[in-house]
Structure 1
Amino acid sequence: MAGQDSLPLRRLKVFQPLNRLTDDQLVLLASRAERRSLGPGQRVVERGVRDGLEFFLVSGQVELEAVDGRKSVIDAESDKALHPIARLQPRMYDVTAVKPCEFLVVEQDILNQMLRSAPVAQVEMDSGEGTGGEESEEHHLLMEFYSELRSNQLKLPSVPDVAWKVRRLVDREESTAEQVANAVSADPAIAAKLVRACNSPLYRGFSDVRNVREAVVRLGMRTTRQLVTVFSMREVFKTRQAPLQREMEKLWRHSREVAALCWVLADHATRLNPEEALLAGLLHDIGVVPVLVQAEHHSNLFANEANLQHAIGELRADVGTAVLESWSFPPTFINAVRFAEEWQHECPESEPQLTDVVIVAQLHAMIGSSQNADLPSFDQVPAYRRLGEMELNASRSLQLLTEARARVEEVQQLLSIR
């Protein structure tokens, strides 16, 4: 089957990261790849298997089933099909064909080797200083770094234990507030934060709550689940090297600011749950965390700040998507990570989505910063047109956030609870 009826180059270039390869490399890749056809009901990959292959969905539709039973569908015409299917190894999902499917199957080793030898210009490493396409040592190192990430030789951060247990409990209809409170109480630091949050201006009732169970009852199961995840995320933003930890702290501050803006925007301009928006904002750059952790092993390369920022820009969406997939987060959160910095992205759903809120919050967070030079004007961003019935525009959104500044600060204080 290998090499028969090779796909045209324009079709290959649709896939990421194949779009980084030259035409000659793509021709060679196609000759060494396999075209594989499967019918409805046939298994594509099995959970737990490490096969060293990348499956690109050329046509058809597949269903992914996680270990906890959650299912999602990927259609060949969707944005999700731009990347390899269930790319983490060992496989995190059972993947089954729903409709007749065709795949391009590539060995990871072959693809990684080609990516390492891709010319500098293909991966936008030319800094404009006359490299002339020469392959620098930095370029080889960066390609090696990408290869490690794509081959899953890095350790993705895991969901903190308390957050995982609470999410599983709340997802079960029969779970009680007592059971959820017991799970939260297993982590005294998170339990204390939840009680303090419940007594904060955002959630305070006529009287203060005195214990975790009362906090869960007042907040409700869904809000409790989101806040426990929010509070536990602080531990994920850690690395061992001081220079990289400074980057991690900067990332945490930015994520916290975007999260606070998401809470306010969701509360004022959509019917979305503000705590879900808060969490989506906090997680929108989660893909940067593994990049910074992995950068510990490439200190020579990332002594150059430009190289580090380039790697972050190239990988944040892809790695972030992989992290949330491995954490079994729902598609709404995964899309918010994938499209957080794609200003022209337009969600297909009629109602505002978490992605819209994160995009708008990001733009507001970047206004007035050193990052605002290349930002589009508000009226060019589809997410603005979708935020509820407020017909949000530049002046009205700035007015909204100015009026809600006190609320933004309250949310920031919530995220700063120790």
Structure 2
Amino acid sequence: MTVRENLALSRLREFHPLNRLTDEQLVVLVSRAERRVHRPGQRILERGARDGMDFFLLKGAVELVAADGRQTTVNAATDKAATAIARLQPRMFDVTAVQPCEFLVIEQAVLNKLLQAAPLEHTDDHGSGDADADDGHRLLMEFYAELKSNQVSLPSLPDVAWKVRRLADREDSSADDIARALTADPAMSAKLVRSCNSALYRGFSDVRNVRDGVVRLGVKTTRQLVTVFAMREVFRSRHPELQKAMDRLWREARTVGALAYVLAESATRIEPEEALLAGLLHNIGAVPVLVHSEYHPALLASPSALEEAMAELQSDIGAAILENWHFPPAFVEAARHGDDWFYECAEERPQLVDLVIVARLHARISQGQSEGLPEFEQVPAYRRLGALELSASRSLKLLETARERLDELQRLLAGH
């Protein structure tokens, strides 16, 4: 049925990208949407379906089951429910109610039109800046519309990383199985062996083959490092100017990843390799923005408009990419909120998102980009890393002490 009840606009603004719509647009959206309820055990969405609808979870909890059997539970009013449930189509999950559920359901085509007509949030009143802002805004709206209708080409997880991650997730996989998958990619094999013989992982003797490398590192660390090394191939473009921007994104990702690794070692129980990977992935959502900008010559000619588009879009798109790659929720959270200095994770213990936020803060300071940054004590993620008893001076001293480790990580990621 069409929604008749009064649904608070503030509740709608808790969802992305509904928070970009005006009050008037939200009223229109509600008038065109349906309110649907489901009983526990009732199937809501089928994997593989294309229904052209977005389902926003208002109440209750659902379980998502992927093709490989991986399960996750999503509760209303949590970060996992901040976007439409299983929104990529064809649907990648079976979705079943585990509690009495209520959804706001809207046609993607209707939402796309509203997003395209949404007002520009930041305008520039100085001459040609208006044209730049218009181009940036147009790209923003097109991206949201195309992302919602799954027309944006999201990057694929490199093949060797996908194979190793799948093998590592299987209980019956051995070091020989993973080594065989790796030897099909000589460049990746060389990187893994080189990392085993680096200062970070060196043992009493040098590793000379991939299998011994997997044994030394362990399956879990191998899984993360292979993904780390594969990420470089995602930051590629055939357009020379865009490749320069990709290289800059990759350098930023390397810096944040290395800093997150050192912070994880010093302040948390999080595996350093997980922190490294989360840092590398924090800006991956900017990659499709750069690829898509090839079709917008005016935007390519305006670096400031392109930067604004990447800043506005990379969080939502990055989260969509990692969901598409079946990454754990902690990685998705880090991609979605890693650029929000004031985000506070609901979990009691420090999470990947905390490390990414604090690593980004340090990266900006180390690059002399302190203007506009909040004070350390104002950043919730910084306070949550309590085991370090961090202060601004102690924090910077810690990273200076770990300089050799940071340099080694950068050398590994740069392929030296």
TM class, shorter-length: over 0.9
TM-aligned CA distance change 1:136 to 1:378, over 3 Å: closer
SS at match of 1:83: coil
Q: How far 1:42 moved relative to its partner?
A: 1.2
Distance 2:233 2:140 in 1: 27
Match of 2:40 in 1: 40
Q: How far 1:171 moved relative to its partner?
A: 1.3
The TM-score with structure 2 as length reference comes to 0.95
Match of 1:70 in 2: 70
Distance 2:308 2:113 in 1: 20
Q: How far 1:333 moved relative to its partner?
A: 1.1
Match of 1:258 in 2: 256
1:345-375 deviations in Å (ceiling 9; x for gaps): 2222222211111111110000154643221
SS at match of 2:113: helix
- Counterparts of residues 379-398 of structure 1 (less than 5 Å): 379-398=377-396
Q: How far 1:47 moved relative to its partner?
A: 1.2
Overall identity of the aligned pairs, in %: 61
Q: CA RMSD in A?
A: 2.1
- Counterparts of residues 16-415 of structure 1 (less than 5 Å): 16-119=16-119, 123-129=120-126, 138=135, 139-369=137-367, 371-415=369-413
SS at match of 1:35: strand
SS at match of 1:58: strand
Gaps of 5+ in 2: none
Distance 1:25 1:278 in 2: 41
Q: How far 1:76 moved relative to its partner?
A: 1.0
Q: How far 1:79 moved relative to its partner?
A: 1.9
Preserved CA contact (<8 Å) 2:140 2:312: no
For 1:235, give the aligned amino acid.
E
TM-aligned CA distance change 1:135 to 1:411, over 3 Å: closer
TM-aligned CA distance change 1:348 to 1:136, over 3 Å: closer
Aligned length in residues: 415
Point out the more displaced range, 135-144 or 189-198. 135-144
1:192-242 deviations in Å (ceiling 9; x for gaps): 110111111111112111100111111111111111111111111111212
Preserved CA contact (<8 Å) 1:117 1:140: no
Q: How far 1:306 moved relative to its partner?
A: 2.3
Q: How far 1:326 moved relative to its partner?
A: 0.8
Distance 2:127 2:38 in 1: 48
1:364-396 deviations in Å (ceiling 9; x for gaps): 000154643221111111222222522112111
Q: How far 1:141 moved relative to its partner?
A: 4.8
Gaps of 5+ in 1: none
Preserved CA contact (<8 Å) 2:54 2:85: yes
For 1:165, give the aligned amino acid.
K
For 2:44, give the aligned amino acid.
V
For 1:353, give the aligned amino acid.
Q
TM-aligned CA distance change 1:222 to 1:388, over 3 Å: farther
For 2:245, give the aligned amino acid.
E
Preserved CA contact (<8 Å) 1:385 1:393: no
Q: How far 1:12 moved relative to its partner?
A: 2.2
Preserved CA contact (<8 Å) 1:345 1:383: yes
For 2:100, give the aligned amino acid.
P
SS at match of 1:373: coil
1:239-258 deviations in Å (ceiling 9; x for gaps): 12122111111000000011
TM-aligned CA distance change 1:301 to 1:417, over 3 Å: closer
For 2:371, give the aligned amino acid.
A
TM-aligned CA distance change 1:290 to 1:140, over 3 Å: closer
Distance 1:182 1:364 in 2: 39
TM-aligned CA distance change 1:21 to 1:390, over 3 Å: closer
Preserved CA contact (<8 Å) 1:360 1:383: yes
Preserved CA contact (<8 Å) 1:29 1:111: yes
1:176-199 deviations in Å (ceiling 9; x for gaps): 111111111111110011011111
Q: How far 1:279 moved relative to its partner?
A: 0.8
Distance 2:115 2:346 in 1: 33
For 2:307, give the aligned amino acid.
Q
For 2:152, give the aligned amino acid.
L
1:2-26 deviations in Å (ceiling 9; x for gaps): 1322423232222221222222222
Distance 2:384 2:13 in 1: 31
Distance 2:226 2:300 in 1: 33
SS at match of 2:102: strand
Q: How far 1:136 moved relative to its partner?
A: 7.8
Q: Which runs of 4+ in 1 moved over 6 A?
A: 133-136
Preserved CA contact (<8 Å) 2:344 2:380: yes
Distance 1:390 1:85 in 2: 37
Distance 1:134 1:165 in 2: 45
SS at match of 2:295: coil
